[in-house]
């Protein structure tokens, strides 16, 4: 049980400060050296030295000047978006979504593929083709791609980088997805839970910061946790399983083997099954996603039954959010994912209403629920953000020479020579 | 929403490393300079310099030698327990418990007081007298006391250091407890949720580390969260409200205004009320704690009804633990607090059994539930640990020049001159 805290030393401090400067430039978009020093708490001399090297490495460029309040105009710095790219793929039972992001987090290509055959072999093949197609379309050379991020439904075995038992993906029991994809694509591959990926993506594009819960509504319902600026993945990388919080003790049997889970009532499949039963239709839906979409379109137009159906689901989600907020004391909940198409506002409003009724410390805590800045493609953008986050975000682990979170899924190779210290960015291909 | 990451610098690194060395000596009990260097990752020269100053300040002493594997024997170092002390008081509806800990975390005095009058004024007066009595009994001069920690039931207003609405304490609406106690005791006062305090105390004595959930079973049921070595208090300092997780939608009305909370079924009061109803007794119990104790003694002796009653409560606790573990992916749950007296094993066994059935990622995650190392006095020892933790534990905040958690309750004054850098220990009175 005993874990020792470790001290730190000069090279680690240098690397960490470098990563802090790069991340600050990225997240502010454009910033002067003076403001960088103010923001980071580093001395102007340190900032100046770090910036000189980042410019030399082709990662940062000067981008015109800003009017200064007296004195000479300040030169603005920005990240060079085309210096590197990251690819991301989201695996959903009914489709694959792929994106390519540049170093500044902009989406430079996007593609979607409706899977006919969802066996692991077929999906890996499709992912390889999808990636090649995306990079070609974006005009991005493979040498500039830092890695491929994959977002998948949990649970996963983070240590062995395998999907264990994705609920809605038949035949995917214990698949070594990262290894297989690395062989196929010759890129470093990182996998993570889709909701955690979405949370990282949300932070990456500036949609949320500090502490928040990301609720990913896809085929199922997952949660991604960012607590005090750190992504919380837990001991095995499976934190955030909102979908399996009990909402009805002894209630409907869930595929996970428990009774009364949130997903047994509020997954796309459950909502569609409920609607079919209410209408006396027999057998399962031909296309869950298709029928779900029809229900949501009707709800968006104000159809009574569908509004009630979706409101009831939102109420259950809000109740679970109440438990989570009481447990974690976060004041921001972000809702995203494809299941919210057409009904984002309806679900948000009702979930927030129910959540607020349930906050124990309501005298001081008044949480808000808001829509995701990355929306429907949250999974895929989040997957690509995993690569960028792992490759260039300042990590306390760097500073402490250890892993501060129990589990960090990054396996992007670290470039000890010629790369950017404190990050795992390789040396720039042109430098 | 935007939070910037800050860099670090040399004085901060020096302070942090100093705190790391001191904490490592404390937690290992006795350790040589060579082992300190290995454990902390610092160079032998850095360790040697830091240790020299700590000895000069009277915080660390040499404590004999250890046989070395070849070469000369290694001098062992230990913390000087009598260098400083911390006082802790736990406020429970029916009693106050006070302890004094030395710098090594040893209990040097303990006292308990059954409150007749639980109004704020009476309790503050009692706490003042209790503290004076404890220090006199332990022979500890007030100048050596770093501060007074107070553990209280939530919710609290951490920023304003007030108790807002402790559920079982009538007349305690929005009491500025820390300020009032500081005036009365002339000591720095820190307040925190009782379960969070207990979690910190558990870590302080080496009972748990890394990531764990502490379940504090007193009059109510609270949770304390340590995630990746950081205490998670949340945005307002009210994280861990396990007692208000919904276990029965639309169920019994809880004092918090919601229906079906865990505490509406499993608090001492709820269990006693259930037993009285089952036996046809009318009216409320004269002493909830007294009747609860009788039930637990009977359960411990194997009485059928009482075993069923407590097992049912444990089952509900286990179900909530299942939700928490699915959400946070922690593999250790620690059970402590006075409500477990006589029934600790029964509750642990059943809660663990139910928890394990409910783990979604059970292929990789197999959590254990175990008894607290600090037991019944967890609240009071935790309260005193708050002071020690705040005063001398290495904190990332020191290194980053910022607060890494959203909320840190420490207000122990930092001694910028002559104290121990990286901690808020004052200069030693004898130095």
The domain spans of chain B are 1-79+394-431, 85-200+378-387, 209-372
Contacts of B360 by beta carbon, 8 Å cutoff, 6+ apart: A154, A155, A238, A241, A244, A256, B326
Q: Do A3 and B210 touch (CB under 8 A)?
A: yes
Q: At residue A344, what are phi and psi to the nearest 5 degrees?
A: -55, -45
pLDDT at res. A21: 87
Cα(B101)–Cα(B388) distance, rounded to whole angstroms? 9
Q: Which residue has the higher pLDDT, A416 or A107?
A: A107
State whether B327 and A240 contact (CB < 8 Å).
yes
What is residue A431's predicted lDDT score, i.e. its pLDDT? 40
CA-CA distance, A145 to A84, in Å (whole number)?
6
Q: How far is B262 from chain A (nearest CA, A)?
A: 11
Comparing CB atoms, the residue among A208, A209, A234 nearest residue B330 is A234
Nearest CB partner across the interface for A5, out of B20, B249, B324: B20
Over residues A23-50, mean pLDDT = 89
Q: Which residues from B are below 8 Å from A157, CB to CB?
A: 363-364
Mutate to test the interface with B, among A26, A51, A235 (most CBs of B within 10 A): A235
From B27-31, B135-139, B324-328, the region with the lowest mean pLDDT: B27-31
**Residue A369: pLDDT over 70:** yes
Most confident of A27-41, A114-128, B347-361: B347-361
Higher pLDDT, B161 or A338: A338
CB pairs under 8 A between A and B: 253
- Residue A326 tokens read as 């009481």
Question: Top-level CATH class of A210-372?
Answer: alpha beta
Contacts of B206 (CB under 8 A, 6+ apart): A1, A2, B27, B373
Alpha-carbon distance of B249 to A319, in angstroms, equals 9
Task: Look at B7 and A329 and tell me if their CB atoms are within 8 Å.
Answer: no
Question: Do the chains contact at A7 and B46, CB–CB below 8 Å?
Answer: yes
User: Which of A99, A90, A145, A146 is closest to A123 using CA atoms?
Assistant: A90
Q: Which residues of B182-194 are buried (b: 16+ CB within 10 A; e: fewer)?
A: bebbebbbbbbbb
- A9: which chain B residues are within 8 Å (Cβ-Cβ)? 13, 41-43
pLDDT at residue A2, as a whole number: 36
- Which among B4, B211, B229 has CB closest to A24? B4
Q: Please give the pLDDT value at position B63.
A: 86
pLDDT band at B248 (very low <50, low <70, confident <90, very high): very high
Backbone angles phi, psi at A148, to 5 degrees: -115, 125
Residue A375 has pLDDT above 90, yes or no: no
- pLDDT grade, residue A113 (50/70/90)? confident
Predicted pLDDT of residue A410: 37
Could you name the CATH architecture of A84-200+378-393? 2-Layer Sandwich (3.30)
* pLDDT band for position A167 (cuts 50, 70, 90): low
* pLDDT for residue A382: 93
Residue of A nearest to B25 (CA): A4
d(CA A199, CA A389): 11
B8 closest CB neighbour out of A13, A322, A364: A13
User: What is the ipTM metric for this complex?
Assistant: 0.82
A93 or A275, greater pLDDT: A275
Higher-confidence position of A243 and A6? A243
Residue in B5, B27, B406 closest to A211 by CB: B406
Confidence band for A347, pLDDT divided at 50, 70 and 90: very high
Residues of B in contact with A373 (CB under 8 A): none
- Predicted local distance difference test score (pLDDT) of residue A217: 94
Task: Report whether pLDDT(A408) > 70.
Answer: no
Phi, psi values for residue B51, rounded to 5°: -60, -40
With contacts defined as CB-CB under 8 Å, which chain B residues touch A199? none
Higher pLDDT, B419 or A34: A34
pLDDT higher for B27 or A407?
A: B27
Supply the pLDDT for residue B3. 42
- CATH topology of A84-200+378-393 equal to that of A210-372? yes
A428 — pLDDT class (breaks 50, 70, 90): very low
State the smallest CA–CA distance between residue B236 and chain A in angstroms. 7
Q: Choose among B16, B9, B11: nearest CA to A46.
A: B9
Kindly give the residue spans of alpha helices, DSSP state H, lying in A41-168.
Answer: 44-56, 120-138
Give the residue-averaged pLDDT of B361-389: 89
Residue of B nearest to A325 (CA): B239
CB of B429 within 8 A of CB of B142? no
> Mean pLDDT score of chain B, rounded to an integer?
84
pLDDT of residue A76: 94
Query: Is 90 exceeded by the pLDDT of residue B259?
Result: yes
Question: Would you tell me which CATH number, out of the four given (2.160.10.10, 3.40.50.300, 1.10.10.10, 2.30.180.10), belongs to the domain B1-79+394-431?
Answer: 1.10.10.10
Higher pLDDT, A389 or A11: A389
Contacting residues for A409 by C-beta, under 8 A, at least 6 apart: A158, A161, A190, A191, A192, A233, A237, A386, A390
Please indicate whether, in this complex, the C-beta atoms of B327 and A327 are within 8 angstroms of each other: yes
Q: What is the per-residue pLDDT for A326?
A: 94
Probe site for chain A from B15, B41, B228 (most A CB atoms < 10 A):
B228
Q: Going by DSSP bridges, is the β-strand pair A74-79/A31-32 parallel, antiparallel, or unpaired?
A: antiparallel
Contact (CB<8Å) B6/A209: no
B7 vs B251, more confident: B251
Q: Which region among A67-76, A223-232, B203-212 has the lowest average model confidence (pLDDT)?
A: A67-76
pLDDT at A398 over 70: no
Out of B55-64, B114-123, B185-194, B273-282, which region has the weakest mean confidence (pLDDT)? Answer: B114-123
Looking at residue B394, what is its pLDDT? 58
Tell me what pLDDT residue B391 has. Answer: 65
**B234 contacts A329? CB cut-off 8 A:** yes
**Mean pLDDT along residues A68-83:** 83
Which residue in A332, A360, A396 is closest to B155 by CB distance? A360
Task: Answer whether A331 sits within 8 Å of B235, measured CB to CB.
Answer: yes
Give me the mean pLDDT over the A131-154 stretch. Answer: 91
* Cis amide leading into B113 (omega within 30): no
B331: chain A residues, CB-CB within 8 Å: 235-236
- What is the per-residue pLDDT across B72-110, written as a single tens digit (0 to 9) for each? 778 999 999 999 899 999 988 778 899 999 988 889 999
Mean pLDDT of A167-194: 83
Among the partner residues A5, A227, A237, nearest to B227 by beta-carbon distance: A227
Pairing of strands A212-217, A145-152: unpaired
Mean pLDDT of A39-58: 90
d(CA B28, CA B280): 55
- Look at residue B408 in the predicted model and tell me its pLDDT: 36
Q: Residue A273 half-sphere exposure, CB side, CA atoms within 13 Å?
A: 11
Q: Are B83 and B428 in contact (CB under 8 A)?
A: yes
Q: Within 13 Å of residue A130, how many CA atoms lie on the same side as its CB?
A: 28
Query: What confidence tier does B221 reach under pLDDT thresholds 50, 70, 90?
Result: very high
Which residue would you say has higher pLDDT here, A50 or B349? Answer: B349
B411 closest CA partner among B384, B385, B391: B391
Res B428 pLDDT > 60: no
A259, A323, A330, B223, B354 from B320: Cα distances, Å: 14, 10, 19, 11, 9
Mean pLDDT (whole number) for B22-33: 88
Give me the pLDDT at residue A69, please.
65
CATH architecture observed for domain B85-200+378-387: 2-Layer Sandwich (3.30)
With beta carbons less than 8 A apart as the criterion, state whether A215 and A242 touch. Answer: yes
Q: Is the pLDDT assigned to residue B317 strictly greater than 80?
A: yes
> In the CATH scheme, what is the code of domain B209-372?
3.30.420.40
Q: Which distant-in-sequence residues (6+ apart) come within 8 Å of B303 by Cβ? A: none
Chain A hits for B326, Cβ within 8 Å: 238, 241, 244-245
Arithmetic mean of pLDDT, B23-37: 89
Of the candidate ranges A416-425, B331-340, B356-365, the one whose mean pLDDT is the lowest: A416-425
| DSSP secondary structure letter of residue A66 | E
- B398 pLDDT band, cuts 50/70/90, is low
- Is A206–B242 a contact, with Cβ atoms under 8 angstroms apart? no
Question: CA of B28: how far to CAs of A87, B21, B83, B106, in Å?
Answer: 46, 11, 18, 14
The pLDDT of residue A419 is 47
Q: Report whether B228 contacts B348 (CB < 8 A).
A: no
* pLDDT over 70 percentage in chain A: 84
> In Å, how far is A18's CA from the nearest CA of chain B?
8
For testing contact with chain A, the best of B1, B3, B5 (most A CBs within 10 A): B5
CA dist A33 → A39, A51, A60, B8, B355 (Å): 10, 8, 12, 17, 53
What does the pLDDT look like over B318-332, one tens digit per residue? 999 999 999 999 999
Report the residue from A225, A329, A357 with minimal CB separation from B239. Answer: A329
Q: Among A54-63, B25-34, B217-226, B407-416, whose mean pLDDT is lowest? A: B407-416
Q: What percent of chain B has pLDDT over 90?
A: 48
Closest residue on chain A to B407 (Cα): A228
Tell me the average pLDDT of chain A: 84
Cβ distance A39 to B357 less than 8 Å, yes or no, reads: no
Query: Which burial class, exposed, middle or buried, applies to A293 when counting CB atoms under 10 A from its CB (0-12, 13-18, 19+)?
Result: middle
CA distance A84 to chain B (A): 22
CA A400 to chain B, closest CA, distance in angstroms equals 9
Dist CA A246 CA B319 (whole Å): 8
Place of tokens 């850095």: B46
**8-state DSSP, A220:** S
> B209, A3: Cβ pair inside 8 Å?
yes
Split at pLDDT 50, 70, 90, the class of A280 is very high
Is the pLDDT score of B119 beyond 50? yes
**pLDDT given at position B168:** 63
């Amino acid at each position: 049980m005993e874990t020792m805290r470790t001290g730190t030393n000069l090279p680690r401090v240098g690397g960490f400060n470098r990563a802090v400067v790069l991340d600050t430039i990225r997240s502010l978009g454009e910033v002067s050296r003076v403001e960088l020093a103010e923001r980071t708490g580093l001395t102007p001399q340190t900032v100046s030295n770090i910036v000189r090297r980042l410019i030399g490495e082709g990662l940062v460029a000067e981008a015109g000047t800003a009017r200064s309040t007296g004195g000479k105009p300040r030169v603005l710095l920005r990240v060079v978006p085309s210096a590197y790219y990251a690819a991301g793929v989201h695996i959903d039972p009914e489709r694959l979504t792929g994106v390519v992001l540049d170093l500044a987090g902009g989406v430079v290509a996007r593609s979607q593929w409706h899977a006919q055959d969802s066996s692991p072999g077929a999906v890996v093949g499709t992912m390889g083709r999808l990636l090649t197609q995306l990079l070609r379309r974006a005009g991005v050379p493979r040498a500039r791609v830092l890695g491929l991020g994959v977002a998948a439904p949990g649970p996963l075995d983070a240590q062995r980088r395998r999907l264990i038992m994705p609920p809605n993906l038949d035949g995917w029991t214990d698949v070594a997805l990262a290894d297989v994809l690395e062989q196929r694509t010759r890129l470093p591959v990182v996998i993570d839970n889709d909701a955690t990926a979405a949370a990282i993506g949300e932070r990456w594009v500036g949609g949320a910061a500090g502490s928040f819960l990301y609720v990913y509504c896809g085929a199922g319902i997952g949660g991604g946790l960012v607590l005090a600026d750190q992504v919380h993945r837990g001991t095995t990388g499976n934190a955030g399983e909102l979908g399996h919080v009990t909402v009805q003790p002894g209630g409907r049997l869930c595929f996970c083997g428990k009774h009364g889970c949130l997903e047994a009532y509020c997954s796309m499949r459950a909502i569609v099954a409920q609607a079919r039963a209410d209408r006396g239709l027999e057998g399962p839906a031909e296309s869950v996603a298709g029928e779900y979409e029809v229900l949501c379109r009707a709800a968006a137009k104000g159809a009574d039954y569908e509004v009630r159906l979706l409101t009831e689901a939102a109420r259950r989600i809000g109740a679970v959010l109440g438990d989570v907020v009481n447990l974690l004391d976060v004041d921001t909940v972000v809702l995203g994912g494809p299941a919210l198409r057409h009904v984002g506002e309806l679900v948000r409003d009702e979930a927030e209403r129910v959540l607020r009724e349930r906050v124990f410390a309501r005298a001081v805590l008044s949480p808000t629920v808001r829509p995701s800045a990355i929306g429907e493609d949250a999974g895929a953008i989040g997957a690509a953000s995993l690569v960028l986050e792992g490759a260039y975000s300042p990590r306390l682990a760097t500073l402490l020479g250890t892993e501060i979170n129990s589990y960090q899924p990054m396996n992007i190779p670290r470039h000890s020579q010629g790369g950017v210290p404190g990050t795992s960015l390789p040396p720039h291909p042109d430098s």
